[in-house]
Amino acid sequence: MREMRLRDLSSFIRTTNHDDILVKTEMEEVDYASKAWGVILNTCDDMEREVLGALRSFFPRIYTLGAMGELVDQIGGGLMASTRLSVWREDRSCMEWLDSQSEASVIYVSFGSLTVLTAHQLAEFAWGLAGTDHPFLWIIRPDMVDGGVRTALPEEFIAATKGRSFFASWCHQGQVLAHRSVGGFLTHGGWNSMLESVLSGVPLICWPTFADQYTNCRYACVHWGFGLEVDQEVTRGQVSDRVRELMEGGKGKEMRERSKKWKEMAKQATRRGGSSHMNLDRLAEDLSIKETQSES
């Protein structure tokens, strides 16, 4: 993995405590994988070709089937679009609000299903968003803030952004990112969010907090070229700067162009003849051979 810093590695292994439970869990997973007949990964060859090449020297049977949701849609005729896998009830009214916004004008903000913020961090993000003229859709789970959400957002912030903000507790993220009015995604950098962003061709502002999110963020910003990073000690000034850089600047335009190229690459991988589609065929064939051999 080129151009990686210590802070870009998973938080699970950035410890000096050999008995750390997360380190032990990681080591156990590697051990299990080394004993497995095969390993299935939710990525595609073009996104991580160098790393996959190194992994295949340890795990000969690696099947990259990503993005799996898109692959299922290609094979199942839109099955994923009619399947609800959300951990929270989706608020559909946000889609109507997006319909009323201009093309590529909205910043979509979501930190996933697990990230918990302090009241101070929430306020910094809030005032950072308020410091720009861009409309935003913000997903704020009921359990997202220490001490509860209701008292965390300043009333002055709500008043300052009235008319260009929409708040929801959860949404269908794939549909939101694919909406014509969404022009950027402020995210924690979880892998599912990363893939959905790629498939929608939407550039990112990343604020990683946990596990592989740091690595995902680094790849989006450096290797894939469609991401910007927010410092761990988040400040409203930097949030405003990142939003403007993404939505207004020349660098943001370049990032959107790269996002479109990665979108086409990811979708091509799942089409017939693409790498992920062929790997699925190879997996089915290899499993059939394995079953035949075990019966003989």
Confidence of residue 212 (pLDDT cuts 50, 70, 90): very high
Closest CA to 208 of 186, 241, 175: 186
The torsion angles phi and psi of 241, rounded to 5 degrees, stand at: -60, -45
Please state which of the ranges 4-13, 80-89, 99-108, 218-227 shows the lowest mean pLDDT: 80-89
Domains 6-81+270-295 and 86-262 share a fold: yes
What is the pLDDT at residue 293? 81
Q: Yes or no: say if 226 and 204 are a contact pair by the CB < 8 Å rule.
A: yes
pLDDT, tens digit (0-9, with 9 covering 90-100), for 60-75: 899 999 999 899 888 8
CA 118, 165, 188 angle in degrees (round to 5)?
Answer: 40
Residue 187 is encoded by which pair of tokens?
């995210």
Question: What CATH class does 86-262 carry?
Answer: alpha beta
Q: Domain residue spans in the chain?
A: 6-81+270-295, 86-262
pLDDT, tens digit (0-9, with 9 covering 90-100), for 78-95: 655 555 556 667 889 999
Cα separation, 30 vs 13, whole angstroms: 13
Name the pTM for this structure: 0.92
Q: Which fold has domain 6-81+270-295?
A: Rossmann fold (3.40.50)
Cα separation, 241 vs 129, whole angstroms: 10
Residue 75 CB partners (closer than 8 Å, separation 6+): 277, 280
pLDDT, tens digit (0-9, with 9 covering 90-100), for 232-263: 999 999 999 999 999 998 999 999 999 999 99
